[in-house]
Structures are given as structure tokens and as C-alpha cells.
Structure 1
Amino acid sequence: MTQEEDGRNDGRKRDPVGFAIAAGLLALAGAVARDAMGMGAVSSYAGIGPSAASWAVAAGLAALAAGTIVAAVRGKIPVPEQSDNAAVLTILAGIAAMIATITAGGGFIPAMALLFGLTARGFGRRALATDLGIGVVLGLLVYLGFTKLLALSLPQGPIERLF
């Protein structure tokens, strides 16, 4: 067994990138915790208020930061793989198309169809028309679930006004 396999850090360099990532995670945890403190003490069922989820997220981010620090001290931060820039840009285009569609008044369902179709394309699927159709069906199900069952409002466009 080599030193790398048994987890010892005998002479290996600590990873400064890991410490930078941990600092970012801690900063994000602090920002979420500060936001949770500003939510007030309104409590609902069983004494759990609206800030409970924010506190859980802040604690999770802090735990991830601690784990990242341990990995950086041990020199165990993995080397990132090469990214597929075309795939990343296609997924970002899907997010931009979703935002543009909602901003232009196109509605939730077409926006989700574009997001789903372009994200599937980014992950390597080549049946864009089929994926847009699947996106329409999923968008419709989510729209109806949120607006009719949960009585929450989502952005409306011409299609959503039919329901």
C-alpha cells in the first residue's frame, strides 16, 4: 500500500485551491445564515418557522467547507476533468431561453420546454423535437400542480391562460 492509498500526507503539498473553495463555501454559509437571522421569529406548526430551511442549508454548506478543508490538508482534492464547453454553453442557452421567454410574456410551459430541450441536448441527446415535446408535457404537469393543487402563481402566457 502506498502513502496515497492509506491517506497519510507525508510530505505532500496542501492544496491551496481546496482552501479557496472552503473559504467560498464558508462565505456562502455565512450569507445564508445572515439571511436566516433576518427572517424573524415567526413559527408555524411544531415551532418550525420559515428560517429552518435556510439554517439547514447554512449548516450543510459549513459541513461541506469543513470536509473540503480536511481534503485540502490531506492533499486529496481531486483533479477536475476537462469540461465540454459546447455542452455547458448549450445548457446556459437553455437557461437564457427560459428567462427570455418568461420575460417576454411567453409563459411558464414554453419556457420549461426550451429549458428541458436544450438541457437534454447539452447532455448529448439529439432528439430536440421529442425533448421539446417532453418539456411541454412536464411543464404542463408542473404548472397545473403548482397553480391548481398548491394555489401558487407561475408566469402566465397564452398557453397557461387556457387553464
Structure 2
Amino acid sequence: MSSRTPSIANRPAAVVAIILLAISVITYWDATQMKVRATYGMGANAASYFVALLFLVLALGHFISAFKPADIDEEAVDWKAVGWVGLALAGLIGSVWSGGGFILGSTLLFAFTARGFGRRAFFKDICLGAFIGLLIFLMFNKLLTLALPQGPLERLF
């Protein structure tokens, strides 16, 4: 009888699990530090506890996946596509941070992500992203009366 230690079959899943677990712990800790409490019902920290729980469940799922033997062959990573999606996220963050607004940021996010997934119609994607960003902005800002980051375009509406 041999005592065999389980080995990690899927190292990327294990890394993602550790990252998700860390995010869960940080979110939980942040929720415990909130000073504003509701006088009745659930407070703002309830949502943070829920998000921490969701991250914990995702982490556990990734840990389980990391130790299961892989039944499919690993594919090579398309670093060019990853770069486009990273640029899309950086475009959104940069637009909001620099005061460009939500519509510009979501336009960049849509167009660069589409490019990362292999679409070659960049001008059409810019137009489509701007249209979708405008619709989302109007829905949140006018219909739901929730504030999204404003830039020059948003101030026109």
C-alpha cells in the first residue's frame, strides 16, 4: 500500500484559486472595518460579506479543479489576444481615472475586447461600443438615477 500525495494537475487553476482566496479574505476584512451600520435591515457591509462568500466559493471550485486530472489537452496561450483585452481594461480604467468618462471608457473596452477576440472591423466596433456605452449611460443615469463617471460626452446629456 503506497501513500500517494495528490499533485497539482492544473497549476494555473491553483494560482487563480489562491488569488481568489486572497480577494475573499481582503473583502471580508474590509467589510468588518466598515463603520456605517444600518439602523434596520441589512447594512452596506452585508453586500461585502456576500461578495467575499462568492469569491470563497470560486476559490474552492478552482482548488478542486486544480487537483483533478486534466481530461483535455492544454491549448497555447494567445498572448496577443490577452494583450488586447488587457489594453481594453486599461482603456476603461484610464478613461475613468483621467476624466474621459464612462462612454469613452466603455467604447474602448468594447472595441479592444472585440479585437482581442479576433474581430477586424475596428471602426465599426468603436461606433458600436460608443452606442452601447451611451445606452448604458442613459439607462443608469436617467432611468435608474445612478451616477456613472462623467466626462465631456456625458455632460452633453
TM class by smaller structure: 0.7 to 0.9
Task: Give the fraction of aligned pairs with identical amino acids, expressed as a percent.
Answer: 41
Question: Contact (CA 8 Å) 1:116, 1:131: kept in 2 or not?
Answer: yes
Asked if residue 89 in structure 1 is aligned to residue 83 in structure 2, the reply is: yes
* Paired residues of 1:121 and 1:128 also in contact (CA < 8 A): yes
The correspondence for 1:129, drawn from 96, 120, 123, is 123
Secondary structure of 1:156's counterpart equals coil
The amino acid of 1:124's aligned partner reads G
Question: Counterparts of 1:28-47 in structure 2 under 5 Å?
Answer: 28-40=23-35, 42-43=37-38, 47=41
1:6 maps to none
AA aligned to 2:59 is: A
Mean CA deviation greater in 152-161 or 86-95: 152-161
SS at match of 2:44: coil
Deviation at 1:79, TM superposition (A): 6.7
Counterpart selection for 2:8 from 15, 29, 32: 15
Number of residues of Structure 1 aligned to a counterpart in Structure 2: 153
Larger Rg: 1
Amino acid aligned to 1:38: Q
- TM (normalized to structure 1)? 0.74
TM-score, normalization by structure 2: 0.76
Asked if 2 retains the 8 angstrom alpha-carbon contact of 1:71 and 1:77, the reply is no
Contact 1:14–1:75 (CA under 8 A) maintained in structure 2? no
Q: What letter corresponds to residue 21 of structure 2 in structure 1?
A: L
Task: Encode CA deviations 1:12-71: one digit per residue, 9 max, x unaligned.
Answer: 7421846555444333221111111122462377x2222222212222222333344444
Q: CA deviation at 1:123?
A: 0.7
Asked if 1:144 is matched to 2:114, the reply is no
Kindly report which structure 2 residues correspond to 1:31-70, keeping only aligned pairs within 5 A, or say none. 31-40=26-35, 42-43=37-38, 47-70=41-64
Q: What CA distance in whole angstroms lies between the structure 1 residues aligned with 2:149 and 2:17? A: 37
Gapped regions of structure 2 (runs ≥ 5)? none
